Amino acid sequence: MHRLTPFFEPRSVAIIGASAVAGKPGCEILRNILANGYRGKIYPVNPKGGRIMELDVLSSIGELPRDVDLAVIILPAGATAQALRECADQGIRYFVLSSGGFAEVDAAGARIQEELAQIIRDRGLHVLGPNTSGHTSMPQGFTSTFFPQGKIRRGRVSYIAQTGNFGTHTLKYILTGEHFGVARVVGLGNKIDIDEADALEYLGDDPETAAVIIYIESFKRPLRFLEVAREVTRRKPVVLLKSGATEAGRQAAMAHTAAMASPDRIVDGMLHQAGVVRVSEYTHLVLAGKAFSMLPLPQGNGVSFLAPSGAMLATLSDFCTHLRLHIPPMETENVKRLQEISPSYIRMRNPVDIWPAALMSGVETAYREGMEIVLQDPAVNAVVPVLMLTRETGMPDPVFIVELAKKYPDKPILVTFSGAKDCMDEYKAALEPQGIPTFPEPEQPFEVLSLMVRCYRAMMRPR
């Protein structure tokens, strides 16, 4: 059993600092656990006792049974060390320390954090945090986050985040604004014990996790992370956003989690050696999650796109070149077939100027036949249709895109749009539950393809 297994497969959990007051962290964590159908035993602890959400509340840590797998301590920083000792006296060995107010704040907080570290060493404990928003394990229907999430959608990607906002409001956006879910989420916080290398090692062997996406401010054990990542990236995509590349970013990271940032050129070299794909924008954490949840990895960097505008063909071609995506010439027969569905005045090639064909044959026919032609071409590894959608010009039934994705399962299809916003929203709602990702900005699918190609190459690299 991996040392993190009890965090992700707890049979019982104690909530130290449970509360009946709506909006308080000790209340919201119980709401989240119950909302996600956790089937293990739950032991709320609060000196007032009584009942919270139909659960019996213990009035002291000493009343806990000695077989509790995991304790979440959600008390003020000053009360955390004593609670940790008392839980350890009850035989508990695995902890989530949710509160802030430690080394990231001031010298007094740093002293409390060092006291916690000494307790961990003396008692042989395993601790996530402090200053963490918690963690999530959807195969077990469990979460220790205190942010009001409600039901969390289960998915195929897992996140490691040295920030509370990913497991809180960013995850809330994914649950309400996107159509993918998560397998596991690990909020590292100040990394007093468990760090990014531990989490990546666990997720690398986790059959529920198809890809790992990381936000990090500092590496606690860079050499160990490098060792773990070298092996994991041969089996799964690993994408990482590292903050602190500038002096302003380093100062912000220090204030956030007391993180001491490494020189950026050293980080770049380490990640390259490890096969980890580095991204530069926070938005990419969500875009990558969507892509890995829905798409196969492209087996090359050959891309075709179909756009309703000459300006889009030109600017997106430039963008592909910038991202090191290749727009390959297609086989003569496929170029001929594209010409057959288009007016004679247009010269067809890759990328595909699709709107003249749409005017001649109808929007759905043009996109459907054009996409199938480019998907069949052996030089093309992925296809991006830029759908021009308005009710006046026609709204093709999006089912044809789903059918093409099933027919060509090894070639990812990423959809983006131009036109009326309500039509775009309608297509997103229709396509994404069917496993076809959509992107509101035309550059985004190419950014996603670029990082997916880099992941594929990392997985295929020689030893």
Q: Is the bond preceding residue 437 a cis peptide, omega within 30 degrees?
A: no
Q: Which domain holds residue 409?
A: 296-460
Q: Is the pLDDT of residue 42 over 70?
A: yes
Number of domains the chain is built from:
3
What pLDDT, in 10s, does the model give residues 67-99? 999 999 999 999 999 999 999 999 999 999 998
User: What CATH number is attached to the domain comprising 279?
Assistant: 3.40.50.261
Q: Are residues 321 and 354 in the same domain?
A: yes
End residue of a domain, out of 294, 320, 349? 294
Q: What is the pLDDT of residue 96?
A: 98
Q: What is the pLDDT of residue 153?
A: 98
d(CA 188, CA 97): 10
Residues recorded for the chain:
463
Q: Are residues 341 and 387 in the same domain?
A: yes
Averaged pLDDT, 154-174: 93
Q: Are residues 88 and 211 in the same domain?
A: no
What is the band of 207 on the pLDDT scale with cuts at 50, 70, 90? very high
Averaged pLDDT, 211-215: 97
Averaged pLDDT, 388-409: 95
Q: Is the pLDDT of residue 289 over 60?
A: yes
d(CA 44, CA 59): 9
Averaged pLDDT, 326-345: 96
DSSP letters, 364-390, are HHHHHHHHHHHHH-TT--EEEEEEEEB
Tokens in use for 278? 């580095």
Query: How far is CA 351 from each of CA 42, 329, 437, rounded to the nearest angstrom?
Result: 57, 9, 20
Q: Are residues 270 and 326 in the same domain?
A: no
Q: What is the pLDDT of residue 402?
A: 98
282 closest CA partner among 131, 410, 159? 159
End residue of a domain, out of 294, 314, 335? 294
Q: What is the pLDDT of residue 252?
A: 55
Q: What is the pLDDT of residue 404?
A: 98
d(CA 46, CA 18): 6
Q: What percent of the chain clears pLDDT 70, i.e. is strictly above it?
A: 96
Contact 116, 80 (CB under 8 A): yes
Is 200 inside any structural domain? yes
Q: Are residues 226 and 305 in the same domain?
A: no
Output the average pLDDT for the chain.
Answer: 94
Tokens in use for 256? 């956030």
Q: Is the pLDDT of residue 253 over 60?
A: no
d(CA 324, CA 301): 8
Q: What is the pLDDT of residue 258?
A: 54
What is the band of 251 on the pLDDT scale with cuts at 50, 70, 90? low
What pLDDT, in 10s, does the model give residues 217-249? 999 999 999 999 999 999 999 999 998 766 655
Q: Is the pLDDT of residue 114 over 90?
A: yes
Q: What is the pLDDT of residue 305?
A: 98
Is 46 inside any structural domain? yes
Q: Are residues 334 and 407 in the same domain?
A: yes
d(CA 198, CA 210): 17
Region of poorest pLDDT, from 13-22, 93-102, 203-212: 93-102
Characterize 245-266 residue by residue with b for buried, 16 or more Cβ atoms within 10 angstroms of its Cβ, and e for exposed: beeeebeebbebbbbebeeeee
d(CA 376, CA 370): 10
Is 401 inside any structural domain? yes
Q: Are residues 324 and 276 in the same domain?
A: no
Cα-to-chain-centroid distance, residue 4: 19
Rg (CA), the chain: 25
Tell me the residue type at 327.
Answer: I
Q: What is the pLDDT of residue 130?
A: 95
What pLDDT, in 10s, does the model give residues 55-71? 999 999 999 999 999 99
End residue of a domain, out of 241, 265, 294? 294
304 closest CA partner among 330, 270, 343? 330
Q: Is the pLDDT of residue 262 over 80?
A: no
Is 194 inside any structural domain? yes
- 301: CB partners within 8 A, 6+ apart: 324, 325, 326, 381, 449, 450, 453
Q: What is the pLDDT of residue 82?
A: 97
Q: What is the pLDDT of residue 62?
A: 98
Q: Are residues 103 and 25 in the same domain?
A: yes
Q: Are residues 290 and 307 in the same domain?
A: no
Q: Is the pLDDT of residue 261 over 60?
A: no
